[in-house]
């Protein structure tokens, strides 16, 4: 029989006071008894930890009450499986959401401690790469805000994504040590540990009734140990859990080997286990790298499913009702092996028949697709899966037979279409298509912008969409307005509240009331003053980190995101080279001063992306030091882009560069963060830019370039890009300057192949879109010199951003996919 936890009868503690006096006393108590320091000798990191522990206590009270309430009501829970959670610093987020920033500031001031300086000491959790991981973090906060009981499941990376530094303009990857001094936000749950197996073989086992079942006998085991972090919703009404798994060996040391003198070999199991949760996205260019990635994905998927099933059985005792009480959302294909693993758990461990298990599995899972790039949809060699996960591979074959049987029964599919439906790619070496597995094993497949979801139906999953019509739906991404407006831009928040009232803090839709103030000169001047202060803060960061002096009165033109050819940082820097040439050639013109800010990381094995970073730095070195430019153009690349750096850059941006090749960006969320902070977007009709255009209005954005349909046409026709280059003297001159070594005199051939690719194929339409982009940039100049027009556009961007709140996105998931009730939220 299921057992309800005893915690239901636990007393609810008295609500802790949020007064300055109470907070001051508690911080001092934590400093003394938890940190073991006297206030006289305490260092800044001591005050940071004492403050975190004080805030954490207040969060824990509501965390436990949120859990009790879920058990009492038996509400359906949402489980969000993601290989990344880019949560950033948590202290300010928690203080803001429970409403104690100012009392804490005052309490610390009494100890001569500056809150803002102290906050900057908190490490950024290195748990993600970019938009995928930051979206997961926004979703966790929004689920708590709209009162959805939820767990996030991921990996507790020791080093996570690398720390990026520059060496002579080249990216250098170093380990990120965010856990070096512990993490005061997390709680180890030793009782929530699960064995994870790899390798071995599958054996038939005779049952007492004469039937036969299959049992996986892994050759290798390790432990997944849970570490929980509370995630606070707005006003602290609900606190949900981010549960991250750490890999630990079953036996930390092999004593027989150690005593035999093999002191290194004795630690082999510990090293193998530690490798699983050491680094995010280990390079997979080698067979061992591929195996490690697969281990990571199965490790956290299996641990999460065992935890979910254990919790469900404890409460209800019947896995037939799993989909009634559990909704599991797969954030991209990384956890797709969960489909086969849940089937194994249901069939092999709980005796379900295949048909029943398949019905439960499909009803439980939803799958969010984040890319149209076939190479970004994971595939694994069949031989690797058969060796590492033999039982799961058997189940994948069985699922594939089911799917292809349904296709045959429906009829009308050609052999090529049937091959495209198959979970096994037979072209070349046989590989398992994880996107296909996630699709067929889920009742809902969603894209993350209207354009992206439409393209999923027409291109990537066209045959699966025909076989399973109605499964694909759209859920346009959003960002949490708490972190990306209220917290990162407090002065703008105060300005808005002073003009339209503070009610928008609880109902972000009320931001639309700002629209009628967009043409008010007084409000525009106030808005501009806030923006300039934010730009001055970023200018100081640029000076401190790079030694480059920039003017906060220049236009801050910003492109910050993962470095990838489809995101077209190359287009941006080529246009900067063209602009540089024009400024030198025509000193008599009134050029708009610009600071072009780049930031982002390139995957360690992605040579062209790393070369683009080097090019940006090479161009910066020449442009920034040329007296003929007179400071009218500055180019900067800020290393080690992370959430905290984004919180400084985004409020300072005047122009937001969202210039990906149309049809290739699934959504984007950086575009929404810039919009919230009053930046004007220059962009293509790609991803969520399309919906931003609908909400902000075409008069408040600068759109250029080929559409997704036109890009597809040009690729099909295999047009030679050379004609477009020859027809554009400005582009041709810029490309010749780069390829001939003007910006790389130490190695004149450094960029020859990179630029040669634009002549040969130009897959990402850099050359084909250049003239339109350059013309759009000159129209931006024309707008900038009309400040009343510019700030009207900027204010209207902020006013119309509410639809891009992640609260709205989560409510749509809850209603259309998860079937869970929601509260109001503030989005």
Q: Which of 610, 673, 750, 800 is catalytic?
A: 673
User: Which tens digits make up the pLDDT trace of 474-527?
Assistant: 999 999 999 999 999 999 999 999 999 999 999 999 999 999 999 999 999 999
DSSP string for residues in 216-241: EE-SEEEEEEEEEEEEEPGGGS-EEE
Q: Would residue 669 show up in a list of annotated catalytic residues for this protein?
A: yes
Quick check: 580 and 623 in contact, CB under 8 A? yes
Torsion of CA 68, 69, 72, 74, to 10 degrees: -110
Average pLDDT over residues 44-62: 97
Q: Taking each helix axis from N to C terminus, what angle separates 607-624 and 752-760, rounded to the nearest 10 degrees?
A: 110
Q: What is the pLDDT of residues 722-773, one digit of tens each?
A: 999 999 999 999 999 999 999 999 999 999 999 999 999 999 999 999 999 9
**Beta-strand pair 326-331/594-599:** unpaired
Residue 567 a catalytic site member: yes
Residue 824, pLDDT score: 66
pLDDT tens column, 657-697? 999 999 999 999 999 999 999 999 999 999 999 999 999 99
pLDDT beyond 80 at 451: yes
Write the pLDDT tens digit of every residue in 69-95: 998 988 999 999 999 999 999 999 999
Radius of gyration of the chain (CA): 27
Q: Is 261 left (phi over 0), alpha (psi -120 to 50) or beta?
A: left
By the 10 Å C-beta count (0-12 exposed, 13-18 middle, 19+ buried), 596 is classed as buried
Confidence of residue 254 (pLDDT cuts 50, 70, 90): confident
Tell me which residue of 189, 224, 181, 195 sits closest to 48, measured CA to CA: 181
The pLDDT of residue 8 is above 80: no
Active-site annotation holder among 561, 610, 800, 811: 561
500: number of CA atoms within 13 Å, CB side?
Answer: 23
pLDDT at 129: 87
- Tell me phi and psi for residue 371, to 5 degrees: -155, 150
pLDDT in the model for residue 814: 98
Q: Which one is catalytic: 567, 596, 601, 614?
A: 567
- Residue 258 confidence (pLDDT): 80
pLDDT at 211: 84
Task: List the beta bridge partners of residue 276.
Answer: none
| C-alpha span between 94 and 61 (Å, rounded) | 13
Can you say how many angstroms the Cα of residue 697 is from the centroid of all Cα atoms in its chain? 27
pLDDT at residue 253 greater than cutoff 90: no
Local structure of 156: helix, strand or coil: coil
Alpha-carbon gap, residue 444 to 453, rounded angstroms: 12
Annotated catalytic residue: which of 562, 596, 610, 796? 562
Say if CB 559 and CB 683 are below 8 A apart. Answer: no
pLDDT over 80 (residue 619): yes
Q: CA-to-CA distance for 732 and 736, rounded, in angstroms? A: 6
Supply the pLDDT for residue 269.
Answer: 86
Contact present, 88 and 642 (Cβ < 8 Å): yes
Residue 594 pLDDT? 98
Q: Is 370 a catalytic residue?
A: yes
Instruction: Establish whether 334 is a catalytic residue.
Output: no
Q: Which of 759, 663, 648 has its CA nearest to residue 709?
A: 663
Average pLDDT of every residue of the chain: 95
Tell me the Ramachandran region of residue 168: left when phi exceeds 0, alpha when psi lies from -120 to 50, beta otherwise.
left
Considering the candidates 344, 370, 475, 483, report the single residue annotated as catalytic: 370
pLDDT, tens digit (0-9, with 9 covering 90-100), for 386-416: 999 999 999 999 999 999 999 999 999 999 9
Q: Which of 70, 669, 681, 798 is catalytic?
A: 669
Q: Quote the pLDDT of residue 519.
A: 98
Give me the DSSP letters along 268-288: HHHHHHHHHTTBSS---SSHH
Whether 56 shows a pLDDT value over 80: the answer reads: yes
CB 552 within 8 A of CB 531: no
Give residue 826's pLDDT: 59
Contacts of 141 (CB under 8 A, 6+ apart): 93, 97, 231, 232, 233, 234, 480, 482, 483, 806
Within 13 A of 679's CA, how many CA atoms are on the CB side? 31
Element (H, E) at 388: helix 382-388
How are the residues of the chain apportioned to helix, strand and coil, as percentages rounded to the nearest 5?
55, 15, 30
Does the pLDDT of residue 6 top 60, yes or no?
Answer: no
Residues 6+ apart with CB under 8 A from 45: 121, 181
pLDDT, tens only, 177-223 = 999 999 999 999 999 999 999 999 999 998 888 888 899 999 999 99
The answer to whether 712 and 663 have CB atoms below 8 angstroms apart is yes
Give me the mean pLDDT over the 276-299 stretch: 94
Give SS3 for 195.
strand
Nearest in space to 658 (alpha carbons), one of 646, 673, 677, 648: 673
The pLDDT assigned to 12 comes to 45
SS (H, E, C) 776-797: HHHHHHHHHCCHHHHHHHHHHH
Distance CA 327, CA 320 (A): 14
């Amino acid at each position: 029989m299921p057992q309800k936890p005893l915690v239901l009868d636990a007393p609810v503690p008295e609500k802790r006071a949020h007064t300055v006096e109470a907070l001051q006393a508690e911080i001092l108590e934590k400093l003394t008894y938890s940190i073991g320091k006297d206030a006289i000798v305490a260092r800044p990191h001591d005050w940071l930890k004492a403050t975190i522990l004080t805030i954490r206590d207040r969060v824990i009270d509501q965390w436990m009450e949120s859990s009790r309430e879920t058990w009492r009501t038996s509400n359906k829970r949402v489980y969000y499986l993601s290989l990344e959670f880019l949560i950033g610093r948590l202290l300010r987020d928690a203080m803001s959401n429970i409403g104690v920033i100012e009392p804490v500031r005052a309490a610390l001031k009494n100890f001569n401690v500056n809150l803002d300086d102290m906050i900057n000491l908190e490490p950024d959790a290195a748990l993600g790469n970019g938009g995928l991981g930051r979206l997961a973090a926004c979703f966790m906060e929004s689920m708590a805000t709209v009162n959805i009981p939820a767990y996030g499941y991921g990996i507790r990376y020791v080093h996570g994504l690398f720390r990026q530094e520059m060496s002579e303009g080249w990216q250098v990857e170093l380990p990120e040590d965010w856990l070096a001094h512990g993490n005061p936000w997390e709680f180890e749950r030793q009782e929530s540990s699960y064995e994870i197996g790899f390798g071995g073989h599958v054996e038939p086992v005779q049952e007492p009734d004469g039937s036969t079942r299959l049992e996986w006998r892994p050759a290798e085991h390790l432990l997944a140990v849970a570490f929980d972090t509370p995630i606070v919703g707005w006003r602290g009404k609900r606190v949900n859990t981010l549960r991250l798994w750490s890999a630990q060996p079953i036996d930390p040391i092999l004593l027989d080997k150690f005593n035999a003198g093999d002191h290194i070999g004795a630690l082999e199991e510990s090293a193998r286990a530690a490798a699983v949760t050491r680094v995010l996205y280990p390079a997979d260019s080698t067979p061992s790298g591929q195996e490690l990635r697969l281990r990571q994905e199965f490790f956290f998927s299996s641990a999460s499913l065992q935890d979910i099933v254990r919790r469900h059985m404890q409460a209800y005792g019947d896995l037939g009702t799993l989909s009634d009480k559990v909704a599991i959302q797969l954030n991209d294909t990384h956890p797709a092996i969960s489909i086969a693993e849940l089937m194994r758990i249901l069939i092999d461990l709980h005796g379900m028949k295949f048909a029943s298990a398949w019905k439960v599995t499909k009803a439980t899972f939803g799958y969010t697709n984040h890319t149209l790039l076939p190479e970004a949809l994971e595939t694994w060699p069949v031989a690797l899966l058969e060796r590492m996960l033999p039982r799961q591979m058997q189940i994948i074959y069985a699922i594939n037979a089911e799917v292809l049987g349904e296709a045959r029964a429906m009829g009308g599919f050609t052999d090529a279409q049937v091959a495209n439906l198959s979970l096994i790619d037979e072209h070349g070496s046989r590989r398992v298509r994880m996107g296909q597995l996630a699709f067929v094993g889920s009742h809902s497949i969603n894209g993350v912008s209207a354009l992206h979801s439409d393209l999923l139906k027409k291109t990537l999953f066209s045959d699966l969409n025909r076989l399973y019509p109605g499964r694909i739906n759209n859920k346009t991404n959003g960002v949490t307005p708490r972190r990306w407006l209220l917290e990162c831009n407090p002065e703008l928040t105060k300005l808005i509240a002073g003009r339209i009232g503070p009610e928008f803090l609880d109902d972000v839709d009320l931001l639309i009331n700002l629209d009628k103030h967009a043409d008010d000169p007084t409000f525009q001047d106030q808005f501009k003053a806030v923006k300039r202060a934010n730009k001055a803060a970023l200018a100081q960061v640029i000076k401190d980190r790079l030694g480059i002096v920039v003017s906060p009165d220049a236009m801050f033109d910003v492109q910050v995101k993962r470095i990838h050819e489809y995101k077209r940082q190359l287009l941006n820097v080529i246009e900067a080279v063209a602009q540089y040439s024009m400024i030198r050639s025509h000193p008599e013109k009134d050029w708009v001063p610009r600071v072009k800010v780049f930031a982002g990381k390139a995957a360690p094995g992605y040579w062209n992306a790393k070369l683009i970073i080097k090019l940006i730095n090479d161009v910066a070195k020449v442009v920034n030091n040329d007296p003929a430019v007179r400071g009218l153009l500055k180019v900067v690349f800020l290393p080690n882009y992370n959430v905290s750096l984004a919180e400084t850059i985004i409020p300072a941006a005047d122009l937001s560069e969202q210039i990906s090749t149309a049809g290739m960006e699934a959504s984007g969320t950086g575009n929404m963060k810039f919009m919230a902070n009053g930046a004007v977007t220059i962009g293509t009709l790609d991803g969520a830019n399309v919906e931003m255009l609908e909400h902000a209005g075409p008069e408040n954005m600068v759109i250029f370039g080929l559409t997704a349909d036109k890009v597809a046409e040009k690729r099909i026709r295999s047009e030679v890009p050379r004609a477009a280059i020859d027809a554009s003297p400005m582009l041709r001159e810029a490309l010749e300057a780069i390829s001939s070594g003007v910006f790389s005199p130490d190695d004149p051939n450094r960029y020859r192949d990179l630029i040669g690719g634009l002549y040969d194929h130009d897959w990402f339409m850099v050359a084909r879109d250049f003239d339109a982009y350059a013309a759009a940039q000159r129209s931006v100049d024309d707008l900038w010199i009309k400040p009343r027009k510019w700030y009207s556009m900027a204010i209207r961007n902020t006013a119309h951003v509410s639809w891009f709140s992640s609260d709205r996105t989560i409510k749509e998931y809850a209603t259309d996919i998860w079937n869970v009730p929601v509260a109001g939220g503030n989005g």
